[in-house]
Chain A
Amino acid sequence: MERRTRTDSFIEEVSAIPGGEGIRLCIQCGTCTASCPNADSMDHTPSQLIAMTRAGMKEEVLSSNAMWHCLSCYLCTVRCPRGIKQTDLMHAFECLSVREGLSHGRTLTPAMYRSFNDFVYSLGSLPEAGFITWYYLLTNPLRAIRLLPMALSLRKRGRLTIRARRLTPEGTRQLRAILDKAEELGGVS
């Protein structure tokens, strides 16, 4: 593995995120990697990400596809003999990767999450039909055609509602005020 960068503060950044502090306790036993259903598809395994973070390889970690393949199934977290919250670490890597603009290209998961979040921020709820449509418009509109039979079959069974659930106007304003304040305050650390 070629090492291009070294950022000594990287481990501080990661361990300052709630749930990320355990990263210093890792003994590289590989239990997280062995437990991960998607480890095979990751360019760096979960335990490698920890080792790389401790080596200060910020750019390599944050541009990895690994955390975007994490399913949040929490098997690694419940099995870690050192009590590390590996799933929280994956979320921390994702957030930092977005903040640093490194979540590019190699997986569509960031675009999918972004479409989801756009709706949650603006409506306070998640209309599934709108979210999926928005996601395909952002990524690859042609792929949406392949999903048409699925959409029709869900629609036929009353499972694809077009209209979104709305909060009351006061509720929407309140949520917006809270989320805007959170953004102003920056990250959790």
Chain B
Amino acid sequence: MRYYAYFPGCSSSEGGAKAYGVSAQAVSKALGIELLELDDWNCCGSTPYSSFEELASFCLSARNLALAEKTGLDLVTPCSSCYVILNRANSYLKQYPDLKAKVDESLAAGGLEYKGTVRVRHLLDIFVNDIGYDTISATVKKSLEGLKVAPYYGCQLVRPSFGFDHPEMPESIDKLIVSLGGETINFPKKARCCGGSLIISEEDLSLSLIGKVLKSALDNGAECIITPCPLCQTNLDAYQKSADKRFMTSFNLPVLFFTQLMGVAFGLVERDLGLKSCIVPAETVLGKYL
């Protein structure tokens, strides 16, 4: 058994990506991983906090890092945004002593200190590098043979680079799909932006990006899309109908978390997969593997 401190992030714990959290836990168990949820963690603040209050945004991360440091374990998150925010704070606290001094003083007001020893990692990194494709392959009970899957990386898993995969031409999810027995689709938009949270404030801008990603996947023969990011999943899945209306398309492309597809290949049951939470039904495409 391998142990990690686990930071689910708001959307994968109680939010719209609950199925991500559930399938992440179940798939981890199947691979001999125990994800120990960090006690009393707080929201990472994501982009909105770093766009309003720089110091406070670093402090939001620093509290989580200080809590994780007490466990002595690597801190793992399934969310690409949490991954960037926590990693960025972690590296800037080392790089900028003046910032570190102010963050230390703020943490002290809450009776905490952070020495800087935590490693922040993405769940996908754990699966493919700590566990490895061979073990993943060996855990497969129902090969995904014949299934054409588009690996959608989005942005913040690979950019700015924290040493995991290539920032523009990543391959880790492609290899993951192959290790599950499926066929990976190479499509130009695989690491381009889905429009992020601007879907709320600047819907037109983000819808056009959503449309481009979906079109790119479909044009290259995808039957479904998998992603490691809650916001990417929500944008491509929940806003697919709006994109259809805007661009007069009918994409009908199920969008899953990569952990859900792994769970299907591992033979897990719906309770562990949460496929019913997909807005574009996944069963039509995945039916024969369930």
Interface-located stretch among B43-51, B214-222, B258-266? B43-51
Q: Is A102 an interface residue (CB 8 A)?
A: no
Q: Mark A105-137, 1 if CB is under 8 A from B, else 0.
A: 001110111101100110111111000100100
Q: Is A29 an interface residue (CB 8 A)?
A: no
Q: Is A18 an interface residue (CB 8 A)?
A: yes
Give how many B residues have a beta carbon under 8 Å from the other chain's beta carbons.
68
Q: Is B116 an interface residue (CB 8 A)?
A: no
CA distance A132 to B106 in the complex (A): 30
Task: Tell me which of B43, B159, B161, B205 contacts A124 (CB under 8 A).
Answer: B43
Task: Tell me which of B18, B105, B159, B192 contacts A78 (CB under 8 A).
Answer: B159
**Minimum Cβ distance to chain A for residue B250 (Å):** 17
Tell me if B's interface is mostly helix, strand, loop or mixed.
Answer: helix
Q: Is A87 an interface residue (CB 8 A)?
A: yes
Using Cβ atoms and an 8 Å threshold, which residues of chain B touch A164?
Answer: 14
User: Are B109 and A154 in contact, with the CB atoms below 8 A?
Assistant: no
User: Are B54 and A188 in contact, with the CB atoms below 8 A?
Assistant: yes
Using Cβ atoms and an 8 Å threshold, which residues of chain A touch B102?
Answer: 182, 185, 188
Task: Tell me which of A109, A157, A160, A185 contacts B198 (CB under 8 A).
Answer: A109
Q: Is B13 an interface residue (CB 8 A)?
A: yes
Task: Tell me which of B54, B63, B160, B276 contacts A18 (CB under 8 A).
Answer: B54
User: Are A71 and B54 in contact, with the CB atoms below 8 A?
Assistant: no
CA distance A181 to B56 in the complex (A): 9
Q: Mark A157-174, 1 if CB is under 8 A from B, else 0.
A: 111110111011011001
Task: Tell me which of A120, A127, A185, A189 contacts B60 (CB under 8 A).
Answer: A120
Q: Is A95 an interface residue (CB 8 A)?
A: yes
Q: Is A8 an interface residue (CB 8 A)?
A: no
User: Are A117 and B53 in contact, with the CB atoms below 8 A?
Assistant: yes
Task: Tell me which of B18, B103, B193 contacts A37 (CB under 8 A).
Answer: B193
User: Are B160 and A77 in contact, with the CB atoms below 8 A?
Assistant: yes
CA distance A181 to B11 in the complex (A): 27
User: Are A120 and B43 in contact, with the CB atoms below 8 A?
Assistant: yes
Q: Mark B186-229, 1 if CB is under 8 A from A, else 0.
A: 00000011011110111001000100000000000000000000
Considering the complex, give the chain A residue whose CB is closest to the CB of B103.
Answer: A182
Q: Is A55 an interface residue (CB 8 A)?
A: no
Tell me if A's interface is mostly helix, strand, loop or mixed.
Answer: helix
**Minimum Cβ distance to chain B for residue A180 (Å):** 7
User: Are A179 and B56 in contact, with the CB atoms below 8 A?
Assistant: yes
Q: Is A54 an interface residue (CB 8 A)?
A: no
Q: Is B99 an interface residue (CB 8 A)?
A: yes
List CB contacts (< 8 Å) of B28-61 with chain A: 40, 42-43, 45-56, 58-60
CA distance A67 to B52 in the complex (A): 12
Q: Is B267 an interface residue (CB 8 A)?
A: no
Q: Is B238 an interface residue (CB 8 A)?
A: yes
CA distance A87 to B47 in the complex (A): 11
Q: Mark A1-40, 1 if CB is under 8 A from B, else 0.
A: 0000000000000000111000000000000000001100
Q: Is B178 an interface residue (CB 8 A)?
A: no
**Minimum Cβ distance to chain B for residue A101 (Å):** 13
**Minimum Cβ distance to chain A for residue B247 (Å):** 16
Using Cβ atoms and an 8 Å threshold, which residues of chain A touch B238?
Answer: 150, 153-154, 159
List 14 A-B residue pairs with CB atoms under 8 Å apart, sorted by A's residue number.
A67-B51, A73-B192, A78-B159, A113-B51, A113-B52, A117-B53, A150-B238, A157-B277, A159-B238, A160-B16, A167-B40, A179-B56, A181-B108, A185-B106
Q: Which 10 A-B pairs have the closest CB atoms?
A: A74-B159, A113-B48, A181-B109, A171-B40, A73-B193, A116-B48, A124-B42, A94-B51, A108-B201, A174-B110
